[in-house]
Amino acid sequence: MNPSTARLLISCPDQRGIVAAVANFIAQYDGNILDADQHTDRDHAEFFMRVEIDAEGFLLNAANFAGAWQPLADKFRMRWYVHWAHDTRRMAILVSRMSHCLNDLLWRWKHGELRVELVAVISNHPDLRETVESFGVPYEHLPVTSATKDDQERAVRALLERTGADFVVLARYMQILSPTFVADYRNRLINIHHSFLPAFAGARPYHQAHERGVKIIGATSHYVTDVLDDGPIIAQQTLPVDHRDGVDDLVRKGRDLERLVLAEAVRLHVEDRILVARNKTVVFQ
């Protein structure tokens, strides 16, 4: 992504003139639209739009954009957000013992595929310290038991606040976060899991799937809500399997999908391509 851009996300009741009004506003301040996409949810009469603006020569910036934009936003009853791409987002990762998603994110971050500042990896186990620190990333081990869960979560929160993390990726973090934590990071907690749910819930899902002879496996990444594994879906992928695949094959293929889907969800979030409406997302690819 070009760091000299601004990305404007809009949702509002659908009505005539929105696109023209947005384009005229940007032109009024010598802005140039680099990319624009829109969607109308006809079932709920709701309009969604993403606009990428060339910040070079644009007369508005982070300090004065809101004041100029707000009258137009009020007219169309917009919920809106603007992100200036030079303001690099700060990402933290929560992980337990499984390393496949973490390793993939570390590699993509190191090679510039994810334009974020990776501020910390936090785990309730010490196992992955050497891997993480080999990338030059701080690793924080915050163990947890049923008796210390509240204290451990407070320590996680304090660390996220100290590092200034803008959003958090749950890279197979096998702990349930409290409703307060989830509410404070609304639409900023990205999770990954297999796509069998609600079937084959609990431990050993691939063993359960193999016993039932499933013909397709998949992975789902979503924003975290109070309802476990039920938040707005960001990205999904599936893969056909058959009777030749053993449990180890299903696990291997499932982990491959989890890596790809989680990385895609993080990219979409960082590039401001997601708008949440109720418990669904509009994703502008």
Task: Please report, to the nearest 10 degrees, the dihedral formed by the alpha carbons of residues 172, 175, 181, 183 taken in order.
Answer: 70
Per-residue pLDDT of the chain (285 residues; tens, 9 = 90+): 566 899 999 999 999 999 999 999 999 999 999 999 999 999 999 999 999 999 999 999 999 999 999 999 999 999 999 999 899 999 999 999 999 999 999 999 999 999 999 999 999 999 999 999 999 999 999 999 999 999 999 999 999 999 999 999 999 999 999 999 999 999 999 999 988 755 777 778 888 888 889 899 899 999 999 988 889 999 999 999 999 999 999 999 999 999 999 999 999 999 999 999 989 999 999
129 and 181 together in one domain: yes
222 and 125 together in one domain: yes
- The answer to whether 150 is a known catalytic residue is no
Q: What is the pTM of this model?
A: 0.94
Domain hosting 151: range is 89-283
What CATH number is associated with residue 29? 3.30.70.260
What CATH number is associated with residue 194? 3.40.50.170
For 138, phi then psi, to 5°, come to: -65, 135
Boundary-marking domain end, from 49, 84, 119? 84
131 and 44 together in one domain: no
18 and 61 together in one domain: yes
Boundary-marking domain end, from 32, 64, 84? 84
94 and 209 together in one domain: yes
Boundary-marking domain end, from 53, 84, 115? 84
66 and 24 together in one domain: yes
184 and 106 together in one domain: yes
Cα angle for residues 241, 243, 248 (degrees, 5° grid): 70
Coil/strand/helix, residue 110? helix
Looking at the structure of the chain, the number of domains it has is: 2
99 and 115 together in one domain: yes
66 and 151 together in one domain: no
Closest by CA to 266, choosing from 129, 126, 169, 144, is 169
Tokens of 38: 């829109």
- Catalytic residue selected from 229, 242, 245, 272: 229
201 and 160 together in one domain: yes
